[in-house]
Structure 1
Amino acid sequence: MKRKVLLIYTGGTIGMEKDYETGSLRAFNFENIFEKIPEMKLLECEVSVHPFKIPLDSSDMGPEEWKIIANYISKNYEKFDGFLILHGTDTMSYTASALSFMLKGLRKPVILTGSQLPIGDLRTDAKENLLTSLYYTSLYENDEAVLQEVALYFEYKLLRGNRSLKYSAEFFDAYQSPNYPILGQSGVHLNIEKEQLFRADKDEKFSADLNISQDVLFWRIFPGMQVSHFHVLPQMKVLILQVFGSGTIFNTEKTKKTLQQLRENGTEIVVVSQCISGGVTIGKYNNSNVFTEVGAISGTDITAESAITKAMHLLDNPNYSGTFSENFERNLRGEISE
């Protein structure tokens, strides 16, 4: 039985080719992808292509585009066995994280991939990323999808989408999942680490929750920063602070008063680490105790991309019971370690 895969092309380097007259990259008609990669016809799956009418650079991908993708997957959920999203690399981890929260009760694979070089380049990484992603997207055992979550595939590695981050603009091996093991690896055999896979609750039905609020601000703390600048910021509902190491910040009375005032004004404060690996442990050092005093939320080992999109999804979302802090601290889609 051939599995049916819906390929959604949003834009990015993977769908570009060089204009040899100008030397610039331009998007090609992605409906002709089978001519660019004839090997796709040899796969044991049927691929249907749905390109964005206007391909977008990944820097232009945001909440509205996340909603479009999630809604399109929802409308076609019963028609296809898996979904592959081709995306520019710069913000792919944001989209993967956002979709992981928006697509509830997922029982089918949703994989994002892209490339560092265009398909037409002689040294391109696009073909391998695309072909292997299609293999993973159509991987079923006993009539059940092996992968039932939002994942990201790049340079032989399959990663949990909301655990991924782009760490290199130069190398083909551009993505890491520093706080969670890889889900699978492509070599001579197509491996998958089943014990690492996420499964939704058995009684949770699939649905697309399109709630995304943009009243979220991300701020990186740096030595010498004037915390008083927070006073001139417009009112925001969630402030994500990326702090030092395992969760420290300046140990001053001004810091405490500023954060306390934000909380009194109704702003939720989420604390995440600037370190790629590891996470926040409030109380480990004295300079983190201020977060307990003001009632801030620990992001533990969540990535910045996942923290931002999780906050955007949860904020003012009527589909969740409990407070924002209670829901943020919950492990919803495998984005934080238990």
Structure 2
Amino acid sequence: MKKILMLGTGGTIACKRSDQGLKPLLTSDEILSYVPEAASFCQADSLQILNIDSTNMQPNHWLAMAEAIETHYNDYDGFVICHGTDTMAYTASALSYLIQNSEKPIVITGAQRPIDMENTDARTNLSDSLRFASQEKAHGVTIVFDGKVIAGTRGKKERSKSYNAFSSINFPYIATVQDGQVVFYLDDKASCPRQVKFFKTLNPRVALMKLIPSMGSNVLDYLAEHYDAVIIESFGVGGLPSYDTGDFYKAVEAWISHGKIVVMATQVTNEGSNMSVYEVGHSIKKELGLLEAYDMTLEATVTKLMWILGQTRDGEEIRELFYQTINRDILWQV
């Protein structure tokens, strides 16, 4: 029987009602007690790391989770992290970079309603996560939610209230869990490296700028004073406004001349970017050498940059690491 460590971090799954609204109050032991059926297929222990609303999640919390897993890595066959849904995709992506090549499963799950409510998805999600973490074929960082198993770098919360809150973006589901049965669609554990790597540094100085029509480039000038990298969420397949002043070109050129990183992404959830299609993207990418997110999710792009800038500031190394596929994060590029 597999030994699984469940780590509590808070979130809706751990909430109870208070005068100010739902608040994470349940301990990891209390959460685990709601799924007694798990004892039939695994031996589960629990460990409380945090107990916060996931809106308050920060990079130092991701480092704490990775450290806890590293400390107990040799003692357990798999790990399940109970987490709030609002920033779950960021955490799953961050852990994909902080813990690489894990032959053991590291599952992130949560719920849209607290586990102590009568009508809740929490008990099913937690039971499914423990079951998936107990599978011989399971490995690496994943999200398990509403019966779907999603690669840690491909998850995105697309619904704020429904139980089917998460989707896998630009990548198929790894597996499904239904009626106590796990069906794998991707079975590649045998081909993956078996030497787990833990990383201990992140650089949180990564900004996101969402373009809107008529936005001025002075926003980029301001961000340059406070951040080492910026992700520009552009329209469609990607491009920058080519106003008569040429201000956006000059602002990006200034970023790059100061050794800072600029990544172009798209506001469109599915199918990714391709700056080579239109003149507004092709020329500026060719001339300035911007990085492009392609089919990566926004959450993966943000956390990958934090991880990369925590390891190096060399421009060529940054480019090489950014386009290196890690936990299925980027598969298409031009």
TM-score of the superposed pair, with normalisation by structure 1:
0.91
Give 1:72 deviation, angstroms: 0.9
Within the candidate set 132, 138, 143, 1:147 is matched to: 138
1:97 Cα deviation (Å)? 0.1
- Would the aligned equivalents of 2:236 and 2:268 in 1 still touch at CA under 8 Å? yes
Residue of 30, 33, 45 corresponding to 2:31: 33
How many Å separate the matches in 2 of 1:257 and 1:35?
Answer: 58
Choose from 195, 203, 209 the match for 1:213: 203
Q: Which runs of 5+ in 1 are unaligned?
A: 141-145
Among 235, 254, 270, which residue is 2:247 paired with? 254
Question: Is residue 215 of structure 2 the alignment partner of residue 225 of structure 1?
Answer: yes
Match of 1:276 in 2: 269
Match of 2:15 in 1: 16
CA distance in 1, matches of 2:65, 2:313: 20
Selected match of 1:47 from 40, 44, 48: 44
Q: Is residue 2:67 matched to residue 1:71?
A: yes
Matching residue of 2:184: 192
Q: Say if 2:322 is the partner of 1:328.
A: yes
Displacement after TM superposition at 1:16 (Å): 2.1
Amino acid paired to 2:126: L
Aligned to 1:186, the other structure's residue is in SS state strand
CA separation of 1:219 and 1:120: change in aligned 2, threshold 3 A: same
Residues 240 and 185 of structure 1: CA distance in aligned 2, closer, same or farther (over 3 Å): same
Structure 1 Cα separation of the partners of residues 294 and 79 of structure 2: 30
SS at 1:55 equivalent? strand
Pick which of 312-321 and 76-85 moved more.
312-321
Change beyond 3 A, Cα 1:291–1:321? closer
Please state whether the residue corresponding to 1:5 is helix, strand or coil. Answer: strand
How far apart, CA to CA, are the structure 1 residues paired with 2:74 and 2:314?
A: 25
Q: Tell me by how many angstroms 1:113 deviates.
A: 0.3
Tell whether 2:82 aligns with 1:86: yes
From the superposition, tell whether residues 316 and 178 of structure 1 become closer, same or farther in structure 2 (CA, over 3 Å). Answer: closer
- Matches of 1:282 and 1:334, distance apart in 2: 21
CA distance change for structure 1 residues 198 and 89 in 2, over 3 Å: closer, same or farther?
farther
CA distance in 2, matches of 1:313, 1:23: 36
Preserved CA contact (<8 Å) 1:148 1:198: no
- Please report how far the alpha carbon of residue 28 of structure 1 lies from its aligned counterpart in structure 2 after TM superposition: 2.2
Kept after mapping to 1: 8 A contact 2:154/2:171:
yes
* Partner secondary structure for residue 231 of structure 2: strand
Instruction: Say whether 1:285 aligns with 2:283.
Output: no
Equivalent position amino acid for 1:133 in 2: S
Structure 1 position 201, deviation (Å): 2.9
Q: What's the CA shift for 1:321?
A: 10
C-alpha deviations, 1:260-309, integer Å up to 9, x for none? 11111111111111111011112111110212211100111101110000
The separation in 2 between residues aligned to 1:198 and 1:258, in whole angstroms, is 47
Q: Which amino acid aligns with 2:302?
A: I
The TM-score, its normalising length taken from structure 2, stands at 0.92
Q: Identity percentage over the alignment?
A: 27
Q: 1:96-116, CA deviations, whole angstroms, 9 ceiling, x for partnerless residues?
A: 000001102211000000000
CA gap of 1:116–1:165, structure 2 versus 1, over 3 A, is same
Q: Report the residue type matching 2:322 in the other structure.
A: F
Change (3 A) 1:198 1:18: farther
| Aligned residues: CA RMSD | 2.1
In 2: Cα distance, 1:34 partner to 1:71 partner: 21
Which ranges in structure 2 are unaligned for 5 or more consecutive residues?
none
**Is 2:107 aligned against 1:115?**
no
The secondary structure found in structure 1 opposite 2:328 is coil
Pair 284,23 (structure 1): closer, same or farther in 2 beyond 3 Å: closer
Aligned equivalents of 2:317, 2:33: Cα separation in 1:
51
Amino acid at match of 1:231: D
1:290-333 alpha-carbon deviations (Å, 9 max, x no partner): 12211100111101110000000001405999521121012122
| Deviation of 1:60 (Å) | 1.4
CA contact (8 A) 2:6 2:28 kept: no
Letter in structure 1 aligned against 2:230: L
SS at match of 2:79: strand
Q: Aligned in 2, Cα 1:130/1:259: closer, same or farther, shift over 3 Å? A: same
- Please name the residue that 1:143 is paired with: none
User: Is 2:172 aligned against 1:181?
Assistant: yes
> 1:313 corresponds to which residue?
307
Determine if contact 2:132/2:177 at 8 Å carries over to the other structure.
no
Kindly indicate whether the alpha-carbon contact (under 8 Å) linking 1:11 and 1:55 is maintained by their aligned counterparts in 2.
Answer: yes
Return the letter of the residue paired with 1:12: G
